[in-house]
Amino acid sequence: MARPSKGGSKSYTQALPEQAYRAIRQQILLGRFRMGVPISRRQLAAELGMSIVPVSEAFQRLTQEGLIESKPQVGTRIRIPTETDIRDRFVIREALESQSARLFSERASMAERRELRDLAEDLDALYLRRDSKPGNSSLVFQVNNDHLRLHTRIAACSGTLALCKMIETMQC
C-alpha cells in the first residue's frame, strides 16, 4: 500500500484516519483480504507508515459500514455478507441514486449536465471494454470506481452533500 506523505501540520494528523480508511477500504474492495480472514491493525499501520490509532479509527468506520467485524477469540476480520445484506444494499443504493437523479434534474446547470453526459459516455465505453475482456479484475474494479464517481457527482450536483456520503458508503 502507498504510504501517506508526511508532514507536521495539524491537518495531516486529522487526515490520517481518513487516509487509513480509504486505503484499507480500497484493499478490501480489491480483494486483497479474503472474506472471513482476520486482519491485523498493527500490520496495516506498519504498511501505511502510521500509528495504530488512525488505523483503529478506520476500523471503527469500516465496522459501521459492515465491511469488517470483530469477534472475541477470532479478532477483526473481513465480514462475509449475507444474501440479505447484499440485497438490502442494492435497494438502498438504488433509492439514493434515484433521489440524486431527481434532484440533479431540478438543480443542475448546463455545464454540470454536459459534464455528467461525458462521464456517462466514458463509463459506457469502459463497460464495453470490460465486457470484451471477461475475468479482468482490474477493469471490473475500474468500472465500479467510475460508476461510483458518476453517481457521486450526480449527488454533488444535486446540492446535497449527505447523498454523496451515503452513496459512497453504500458502494460496497
Q: Are 92 and 149 members of one domain? A: yes
pLDDT at residue number 6 = 46
- State whether 98 and 64 are in the same domain: no
Q: Domain ends where: 19, 46, 78? A: 78
Whether the CB-CB separation of 51 and 45 falls below 8 Å is answered with yes
- Pair 28, 88 in one domain: no
Are residue 74 and residue 100 in the same domain, yes or no?
Answer: no
Does 1 fall in a domain?
Answer: no
Same domain, 99 and 153: yes
In a domain, residue 3? The reply is no
Distances (CA, A) of 46 to 1, 4, 40, 49, 156: 10, 12, 10, 5, 35
Same structural domain, 149 and 97:
yes
Which residues form the domain of 38?
A: 10-78
Per-residue pLDDT of the chain (172 residues; tens, 9 = 90+): 444 444 444 454 569 999 999 999 989 888 888 899 899 999 999 999 999 999 999 999 999 988 999 888 878 999 999 999 989 988 999 999 999 999 999 999 999 999 999 999 999 999 999 999 988 888 888 998 899 899 999 999 999 989 988 888 777 5
In a domain, 4, yes or no: no
Give me the pLDDT at residue 51, please.
Answer: 95
Residue 116 and residue 104: Cα distance in Å, rounded?
10
pLDDT score at 71? 84
* The last residue of a domain, from among 44, 59, 78: 78
Taking the C-alpha atoms of residue 6 and residue 108, their distance in angstroms, rounded to an integer, is 38
88, 71: one domain: no
pLDDT at residue 140, rounded to an integer:
86
- Choose one of 78, 93, 126: the last residue of a domain: 78
The residue to which cell 439514493 is assigned: 96
Closest CA to 126 of 138, 114, 142, 113: 142
Q: How many domains does the chain divide into?
A: 2
What angle separates helix 83-107 from helix 137-157, to the nearest 10 degrees?
A: 40
